[in-house]
């Protein structure tokens, strides 16, 4: 990737959240015979360093197994780092987890912090007492969450009867009742419909703007990142590959453009050889979904000859030329990683 990927050293100013050379190694046992087991190390997080300033909204993205959730669990004190130094608001999460809990909120998209058989209202009352939230502040925060997350008709519904989108909005409200300074969101829009996603994104924007809440967001929905975050970190195999602006991330992909080709039927990826002296493929297949294909080509090359050759050799229905989106850029980064 070289310099194009941007420095992966952290750009968060003085650092409200700081990680310096943080590692997490798991010991895994694997059966190698009837009575024999082999122990091996899995390095889930490998020497990550970054800083997040107070009030930043930062996207933290990567493929499954990259180390995102492990990082979040260390930041919340659920896991203890194997090495390095980690602080949140000056607190060591693994040593002072109870103290830290009053300053952070956490939402795990595939798990709930709500009581399954209780209505939302009763779950919130329990949290009111657990966090010892002053009555007036509790009422103000609850009223605000109910209004902005559209929870009014759901307060007396047992959590088990809520849809995924409704439950997710309920979880986000629960994480914010005690006015946390930091909000960790792990896949907060997973499985949500378009309307629910829009409500969640709008609420998070207002929360950050009005209260200056620091947000660290992990997601596979890159639209979340594009609409909410000015800064993005990309992690793969436990290592930080990129830390910088969204604009800088897009620049990684400026060397290519994309042909989106619709054919009459599903076919193997289109292959065109270069006509110049250098030879080699003129197109790079990025993705194939049924009769639609995404094909990358050098940004400096003219699209017209490629379009003409595809139209002559393939049953073409439609074709468009696009700049690479963030998903394609990140895919290229993964491909280039050692």
pLDDT of residue 236: 85
Residue identified by tokens 């009763």 is: 122
Q: In angstroms, what is the C-alpha Rg of the chain?
A: 23
| Domains of the chain by residue range | 53-76+95-251, 255-336
Q: What are the pLDDT tens digits along the chain (338 aa)? A: 333 344 444 455 567 999 999 999 998 877 776 677 788 888 999 999 999 999 999 999 888 888 999 999 999 999 999 999 999 999 999 999 999 999 999 998 778 889 999 999 999 999 999 999 999 999 999 999 999 888 999 999 999 999 888 898 999 999 999 999 999 998 888 777 888 888 889 889 999 999 999 999 998 777 888 889 989 999 988 999 899 988 787 776 667 788 999 999 999 999 887 765 455 568 888 888 899 998 988 877 888 889 999 999 999 999 998 866 666 677 777 666 66
pLDDT of residue 197: 85
| Measured distance CA(225)–CA(231) in Å, rounded | 9
CB < 8 Å & 24+ apart, contacts of 288-293: 290/266, 291/262, 291/263, 291/264, 291/265, 291/266, 291/267, 291/317, 292/260, 292/261, 292/262, 292/263, 293/259, 293/260, 293/261, 293/263, 293/267, 293/269
| Measured distance CA(25)–CA(10) in Å, rounded | 22
Q: CA dist 191 to 163, 165, 215, 235, Å? A: 10, 7, 21, 22
Instruction: Name the β-bridge partners of 239.
Output: 236
Question: Of the CATH numbers 1.10.150, 2.40.160, 3.30.1370, 3.30.70, which one belongs to the domain with range 255-336?
Answer: 3.30.70
Residue identified by tokens 């930041």 is: 75
Residue 221: DSSP 8-state: -
pLDDT of residue 6: 45
Q: Does domain 53-76+95-251 have CATH number 3.40.50.10140?
A: no
pLDDT of residue 178: 94
Report the side by side order of strands in the sheet with 57-61.
104-108, 182-186, 214-218, 57-61, 231-236, 239-245
Q: What are phi and psi of 37, to 5 degrees?
A: -125, 145
Angle at 76 (CA atoms; ends 96, 242), nearest 5 degrees: 130
Residue 172 CB burial class (10 angstroms; 0-12, 13-18, ≥19) = buried
Q: CA dist 201 to 59, 91, 100, Å? A: 13, 29, 25
pLDDT of residue 258: 85
pLDDT of residue 260: 92
């Amino acid at each position: 990737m070289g310099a194009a990927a941007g420095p992966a050293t952290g750009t968060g100013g003085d650092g409200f959240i700081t990680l310096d050379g943080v590692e997490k190694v798991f010991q895994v046992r694997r059966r190698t015979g009837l009575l024999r087991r082999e122990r091996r190390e899995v390095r889930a997080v490998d020497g990550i360093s970054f800083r997040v300033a107070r009030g930043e909204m930062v996207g933290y993205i990567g493929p499954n197994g990259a180390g995102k959730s492990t990082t979040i669990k260390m930041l919340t004190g659920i896991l203890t780092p194997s090495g390095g130094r980690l602080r949140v608001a000056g607190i060591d999460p693994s040593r002072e987890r109870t103290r830290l809990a009053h300053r952070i909120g956490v939402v795990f998209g595939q798990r709930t912090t709500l009581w399954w058989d209780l209505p939302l209202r009763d779950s919130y009352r329990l949290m009111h007492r657990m966090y010892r939230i002053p009555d007036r502040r509790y009422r103000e925060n609850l009223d605000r969450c109910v209004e902005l997350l559209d929870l009014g008709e759901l307060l007396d519904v047992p959590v088990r009867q809520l849809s995924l989108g409704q439950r997710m909005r309920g979880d986000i409200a629960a994480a914010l009742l005690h006015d946390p300074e930091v909000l960790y969101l792990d896949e907060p829009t997973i499985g949500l419909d378009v309307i629910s996603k829009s409500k969640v994104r709008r609420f998070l924007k207002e929360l950050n703007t009005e209260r200056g809440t620091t947000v660290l967001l992990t997601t596979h929905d890159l639209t979340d990142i594009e609409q909410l975050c000015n800064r993005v970190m990309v992690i793969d195999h436990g290592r930080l590959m990129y830390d910088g602006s969204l604009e800088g991330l897009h620049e990684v992909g400026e060397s290519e453009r994309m042909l989106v080709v619709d054919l009459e039927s599903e076919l193997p990826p289109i292959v065109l050889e270069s006509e110049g002296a250098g030879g080699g493929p003129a197109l790079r297949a990025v993705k194939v979904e049924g009769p639609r294909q995404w094909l990358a080509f050098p940004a400096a090359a003219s699209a017209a000859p490629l379009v003409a050759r595809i139209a002559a050799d393939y049953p073409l229905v439609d074709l468009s030329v696009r700049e690479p989106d963030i998903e394609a850029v990140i895919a290229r980064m993964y491909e280039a990683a050692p």
